[in-house]
Chains A and B, each alone.
Chain A
Amino acid sequence: MLKRSYKNYTYIGYLYILPWIIGFLLLQLVPLVNSLWYSFTQFQLLGDPKFLGLANYKKIFTADATFLQSLKVTFYYVLIAVPLKIGFALLVAIILNQKIKGINLFRTLYYIPSILGGSVAISVLWKYLFMNQGVVNNIIGVIGIPAIDWLGSPELALGTISLVTVWQFGSSMLLFLAGLKQIPVSLYEAARIDGAGRMRIFFQITIPALSPIVLFNLIMQMINAFQDFTGAFVITQGGPLKSTYLYGLMLYDQGFKFFKMGYASALSWILFAIILFFTSLTFRSSESWVHYGDSI
C-alpha cells in the first residue's frame, strides 16, 4: 500500500530537485570541467584560451618560488589552526557538559565569534588589537612583557592570523555538545558498575562516541582552512615577506589581479588535488579511530 502510493509520485521527485540539478550542471559540473580545461591554456580573460599543454603546471612546479612559499604557509596555517580549533572546541564542550549553571549563556558567548569571525569587521578589529601600540601589547606591557611585533614579524604573523580562526571554535563546539548529549546514560552507568574510573570512562566511552563528530569537523575545517582568505588579505595582505601569503591570496592575485585565468586554474586544481589527498587520507585513517554507534 505504502509502496504503491509512492509509485504514483515517482517522477514528481525530479520536479522538486530540478533547481539543484540545473544548478549542479551549470554552476558546478561545467565550471569544474572548464577550470580543468583552462588549466592547460593561456587565458587572459580578453580573448580565447590558447592551449599550452602542461606548461602552466610545469612553470608552477619548477619556476614559481611564490607557489612553494604559499604552499608552505598554507600547510603551516592548516596545521596550526585546525587542530587547535577542534581540540579547543572538544575541551570546552566536555567542560560545558557537566551540570553547569548558565550553560546557555556560556554557549552563546562562545558561539558569537563564529558568526562574526569571517567578516572584514573582525579582521579590521584584529589588526587594531595586535598593532604595535595596540591593546594586546598594552596589556602584556602591564605584566612587564615588552611589546611584541605580532603582525610585523614573519615568524609571528601567521600565528596571529590563526588566532582569528581558533577564536571561532564555537561552531565545532556546538556539534560536540550535541554529540555528548546523545551518548546514552546507560553506557556510563554500566561502565561505573564495572568499576571503571573517570579517565577510563572518558577515553573508552566519551571519546569513541564523539569520534564521528571529530572526523566531520576535521574534514570540513580542513577544507575551509586550505582556502581561507579574508583574514590574511585584510590584516596583513599576505606579508610580511609573504609569511601569510595563503594559497587563496595567490589564487586571487593570479586570477583577479593579473587575470591569468589559465595559470590560476592550474593553481586551483593543484589545491583541489591537495585537499582531496588530505581528506581521503583522513577518511582512510578514520577506520582505525572512528567508532560508529554499534561498535562502541
Chain B
Amino acid sequence: MIKKTTPVSKIISYIFLIVLAYIMIYPLLWMIGAAFKTNEEMFGTIGLLPKNPVFGAFAAGWTGTGQYGFSTFLYNTFLMVIPTVIFTVISATLVGYGFARFNFPLKKLLFFIMIATLMLPATVIIIPRYIFFKKLGWLDTYLPFIVPAMLGSFPFFNFMMVQFFRGLPIEIDESGKLDGCNSFVILKDLLLPLCKSAIFSVIVFQFVWTWNDFFNVLIYISSVAKYPVALGLRMTMDISTEFDWNQIMAMSLISILPPVILFFAAQKYFVEGIATTGMKT
C-alpha cells in the first residue's frame, strides 16, 4: 500500500499536513505576536509580527494592577500542582502494582469497580465532595486537589500503571524474590526503574490537567491571594474591558509555558507511554 502511493498523492498529503500544521499553530503564534502589539494593531491587522513592537506588556502584567500580580498566581499554581502530581505518581504506582502483581480476594470485583469509576462523570459527585471538603474546613486551600491525589482518586492513572506493570515480565519479580527481597523492595529497586515512560506519562497528564483545571479551582479557591493562573487570568480579563490587551496575551502566554515545556522535556517517554498503555483498553 505504501509503495504503491503515487508521488502526486504524497504531495497532496504533505500540502495538507503543512497547511493543517499552520492552522493548528496559528492561534499560538498569533498569541505570541499579540503580546507585543498595541490594541489597535491587535485588532486591525492580520500580520503575526508586530510592526511597532511594544515590550512593556510582560513586566506590566507580571506586577499586575491590583494587590496581587501574575507572579503570585503563577507561584500559587505550582504550589497546587506539584504536590498533586507527586502524590498522584506515588498512589498510582502503588495501586497499579497492587492490582497487577498480587492475588487477593475480591480483586476482580475491585478492579471492575475501578474501571467503572473511569466512566463516572465528575459532575455527579462534585456537590457532595464540595460539602464534604467544606465540613473539613478545606475550602480555599489546595487540599481538595492534593488529598484526592494521595488517595488514588484518579482511576485513569491507576489503570495506566496497572497496564504498564502487566507488560513487565514476571521473571523480574521472581528473581527479586529468590534474592530475598520483599515486595516493596522489588517495586522500588527492580520495577520502578523500568517504569520511566509510564511515570512520565502520569506526570505530564496530571500536571497539564491540574494546571489547566478551571472548574474545580473556581469552586474551591475563593481568595484572590490564593488564585492560580486560571482564576487570575479570568479576573484580569473581566476587570479590564478597556485594558491593554497585550498584557492579557502576555500573561496567557506565560501561563501556557510550563505545560508546554514539560511536554517537550518528557515527550520521548510520554508518546511511548501513551502507545503502550492507551492501547490495551
Contacts and interface: CB of A to CB of B under 8 A. Distances in A.
Interface of A: 2, 5-7, 9-17, 19-24, 26-28, 30-32, 34-35, 38, 45, 92, 95-96, 98-100, 105-113, 115-116, 118-122, 124-129, 131, 133-135, 138-139, 142, 167, 174-175, 178-179, 181-182, 188, 192, 198, 201, 212-213, 216, 219, 223, 226-227, 229-230, 233-234, 247-248, 251-252, 255-256, 261, 264-265, 268-269, 271-272, 275, 279
Interface string B1-22: 1101100001001101100110
Given A109-B24, A264-B127, 12 more contacts: A2-B170, A10-B103, A19-B94, A19-B152, A23-B150, A24-B114, A112-B260, A115-B260, A116-B259, A120-B212, A178-B274, A268-B124
Interface residues of B, number: 99
A128 B42 contact: yes
A138 B46 contact: yes
B103 A198 contact: no
16 contacts: A2-B174, A11-B104, A12-B102, A13-B103, A22-B151, A30-B132, A45-B131, A119-B255, A121-B229, A121-B253, A124-B233, A125-B30, A133-B44, A178-B275, A234-B234, A252-B215
A182 B104 contact: no
Between A35, A126, A139, A252, the greatest number of chain B beta carbons within 10 A of the residue's beta carbon is seen for A35
Nearest to A103: B17
- Looking at chain A's contact residues, is the secondary structure mostly helix, strand, loop, or mixed? helix
Interface stretch (B50-58, B61-69, B115-123, B191-199): B115-123
B127 A112 contact: no
Given A23-B153, A125-B27, A181-B275, A138 B44 contact: yes
Given A118-B212, A119-B255, A6 B103 contact: yes
A11 B121 CA distance: 31
B45 interface: yes
Interface string B180-203: 000100000000000000000000
B214 A234 contact: yes
B13 A100 contact: yes
B60 interface: no
B89 interface: no
A248 B127 CA distance: 13
B125 interface: yes
B44 A19 contact: no
Please give me the 5 A-B residue pairs with the lowest Cβ-Cβ distance, nearest first: A16-B98, A23-B151, A13-B102, A31-B128, A20-B152
Nearest to A139: B46
Given A35-B124, A223-B119, A138 B45 contact: yes
Given A115-B260, A118-B214, A178-B275, A20 B151 contact: yes
B82 interface: no
A116 B46 CA distance: 23
